Structure 1
Amino acid sequence: MDTPAHKAAGNDKQKLKVVAWLNSVIERLKGWTQSHCQKLFVEKELIELCYRARETFWKNNVKLEVKAPIKICGDIHGQYSDLLALLELNGWPPETKYLFLGDYVDRGPFSIEVMSLLFAYQILYPDKVSLLRGNHESRPVNMQYGFFLECRKRYSVTLYDAFQMAFYCMPLCAVISDKIICMHGGISEDLVDLKQLDKVERPCDIPDIGVIADLTWADPDHSIQMYNESFRGAGRVFGVEAVKKFLKMHNLELIVRAHQVVDDGYEFFADRQCVTIFSAPSYCGTMNNAAAVMTIDEEMVCSFTVMRPDLQKKEKENKSPGPVPT
């Protein structure tokens, strides 16, 4: 019969084995090349990674509480080589602490690698890497915009389903040092008390209306003051006055969100009380946008690191009039 000491020793041995495996996943992904990407993993490893990520999400609330200093990243959208460049420029976990705002998959060709690296870091260093859910971490969306086909072509529908179960449990927003609220989409007229988020039942997909939809789909709109319907068909749009009232209601100072392409990688709204972060440079290979990472230091001072694409055809450079939906 096993004694408590033997059981403890066995548990420690298993934990060390898992840690060693996670580190090997990260090292393989750091050495990633496009020509050898399909040789890095067998499918059962990636499925195991999804299951362990889901367990980690279950341990956390829908609303995360994190502390500065921290770096915040917006959409990645399957642009894996750009994610590696971003981490190389801004620092690797666990030495650098990160909050990612969602939309890891679709559009770009290597969503599996993006998701696998971030899952591995989040499982291994849960106090250093936090992942929020974007509107593309939803079956109806990523079935349509590339992730389903990537999983089916490279592995199987089984892996795709494993990723969805992890997505269904992801947190929806984070509050940094009681002052800054972060989400993928935007604020919600229906969110009058942040304790409402404690009642969100997981696993769940993202509906078209309500708090969850707004947190993952909503956009700022200069043409309105409060809230209105969105052309996206999900979530709502919010204006300057809505931002001011939301911050005052919840005793917060700043909203940080992603969800839209912006030329310089970041863009302010509502007298700098809301900022959009986008972290996929040259989005989809068709845009000239830069990528940005927002840094919040110990004193809650915000700054930005901007990664600009190499614009080979400057004569064709077109400045967009504002944020582009993703």
Structure 2
Amino acid sequence: MAPPAVTEDSLSQSPPQPPPKAGGDVAPHVITFRGLKFEVDRWLELVSQCQYLPEDVMLQLCSIVISRMSSQCNIAKVTSPATIVGDIHGQFYDLVRLFEKGGSPEESTYVFMGDYVDRGYYSLEVLTYLFLMLVKYPNRVVLLRGNHETRRVSHQYGFSEECIKKYGHMAIWRECCNVFDKLPIAALIDNKTFCVHGGLSPRLPTLDSVLHLQRNIEVPPAGPLCDLLWSDPEDYESGWCMNPRGAGWVFGRDVAQEFIKTNNLDLICRSHQLVQEGFKFIFPDILCTVWSAPNYCYRCGNIASILKIKPDGSRDVIYFDAVPSEAREVPNRMAAPYFL
């Protein structure tokens, strides 16, 4: 049975706080937004139990994230040490294990490359947890947009239905989609590692052209923004080819080499495609795929990975398996709204 949502009754007492760090007590992380206090640590403690927030709190959280994202440019600038994360797809318990493997954002900036929702059981809880982490660590957590962070795709593949089952209506899904419109579309680590969800675009040959792209829109079915979220590399192709997905392009090693040379980069890092081994260089030394949803869809049997970028430029791939089935909850087909 799925863990229950947070109810108003559960808010009458503060949940247990994590032990203070050595050297003294640590004050709870509280921010003030539009005259209201938002108790980040309190909500993180609850959501970490695979619960979702009351509707008014979730709406406030979305507003906070929108406010913070609106002032950011298309390419988030990151300084190492950094931890690069691929697709999550609603696998909440595996997300918790990911942080156990990767460590605290206080030690390394996390760059998530999109696809937080759909497919898995807990898209809402995954997204809520990541929004809270972004609010708590605004300079240490970067959330990029994936091709599932759109109205069209998340309506088709499960996130909107999940929000209706848990909240009883579509308002939360709509507000989350408004957040999606504000997410950066790429990240640049130490000016050398370019992170994007899908791949490249023939209309965006330079980082400057990516910076000038209009991102605050629903992703169209074609065009440069669509390309960044949907394109795929292929080792046996050259140039640009039609993508069998029906969106974006398939591009060859020569395209990636030209992008690397033009923009003085060392590596293109992306996700978007399941790789059974969790991490794979598609084009040796210049383009890799990081996949962070182990046993994808609870049946693919793959392992997962995160990629660590160190200040000296070295890289470390950390692999992890899915949380065992006996250590995770499987929700009922119809989850009751939190207010029932």
In the alignment, what sits opposite 1:280? Answer: 293
Q: Conserved in 2, the CA contact under 8 Å of 1:19 and 1:124? A: no
2:250 counterpart of 1:237: yes
Distance 1:306 1:102 in 2: 19
The one-letter amino acid paired with 1:299 is: D
Q: Conserved in 2, the CA contact under 8 Å of 1:288 and 1:311? A: no
How far 1:29 sits from its partner (Å)? Answer: 1.8
2:102 counterpart of 1:90: yes
2:154 counterpart of 1:139: no
Pick the aligned partner of 1:109 from 121, 124, 149. Answer: 121
2:89 counterpart of 1:61: no
Give the share of equivalent positions with the same residue, in percent: 35
Gaps of 5+ in 1: 1-11, 313-326
Q: Conserved in 2, the CA contact under 8 Å of 1:206 and 1:213? A: yes
Q: Conserved in 2, the CA contact under 8 Å of 1:69 and 1:300? A: no
Does the C-alpha gap of structure 1 residues 88 and 197 become closer, same or farther in structure 2, counting only changes over 3 Å? Answer: same
Pick the aligned partner of 2:319 from 286, 290, 306. Answer: 306
Higher helix share: 1
The one-letter amino acid paired with 2:316 is: S
In the alignment, what sits opposite 2:4? Answer: none
2:259 counterpart of 1:246: yes
Distance 1:309 1:60 in 2: 33
2:47 counterpart of 1:29: yes
The one-letter amino acid paired with 1:65 is: K
How far 1:181 sits from its partner (Å)? Answer: 0.3
Does the C-alpha gap of structure 1 residues 146 and 266 become closer, same or farther in structure 2, counting only changes over 3 Å? Answer: same
Matched residue of 1:143: which SS? helix
Gaps of 5+ in 2: 1-29, 326-340
2:225 counterpart of 1:212: yes
The one-letter amino acid paired with 2:125 is: E
Alignment of 1:1-326 (within 5 A): 14=32, 21-32=39-50, 37=51, 40-155=52-167, 156-309=169-322
> CA RMSD of the aligned region, Å?
2.0
Distance 1:107 1:14 in 2: 34
Task: Tell me the matched-pair count.
Answer: 295
Once the two structures are superposed, what CA deviation does each residue of 1:165-198 show, in whole Å capped at 9, x if it has no partner? 0001111001111111000000112112222233
Does the C-alpha gap of structure 1 residues 18 and 240 become closer, same or farther in structure 2, counting only changes over 3 Å? Answer: farther
How far 1:205 sits from its partner (Å)? Answer: 1.1
The one-letter amino acid paired with 1:249 is: T
Q: TM-score, normalised by structure 1?
A: 0.86
How far 1:124 sits from its partner (Å)? Answer: 2.1
Matched residue of 1:175: which SS? strand
Does the C-alpha gap of structure 1 residues 173 and 199 become closer, same or farther in structure 2, counting only changes over 3 Å? Answer: same
Distance 1:229 1:208 in 2: 14
Q: Conserved in 2, the CA contact under 8 Å of 1:186 and 1:219? A: yes
The one-letter amino acid paired with 1:216 is: L
* Higher mean displacement: 198-207 or 164-173: 198-207
Distance 1:254 1:53 in 2: 29
Q: TM-score, normalised by structure 2?
A: 0.82
The one-letter amino acid paired with 2:62 is: C
In the alignment, what sits opposite 1:318? Answer: none
Matched residue of 1:59: which SS? coil
Larger RCO (alpha carbons 8 Å, 6+ apart): 2
Matched residue of 1:267: which SS? strand
Q: Conserved in 1, the CA contact under 8 Å of 2:267 and 2:287? A: yes
Distance 1:289 1:173 in 2: 26
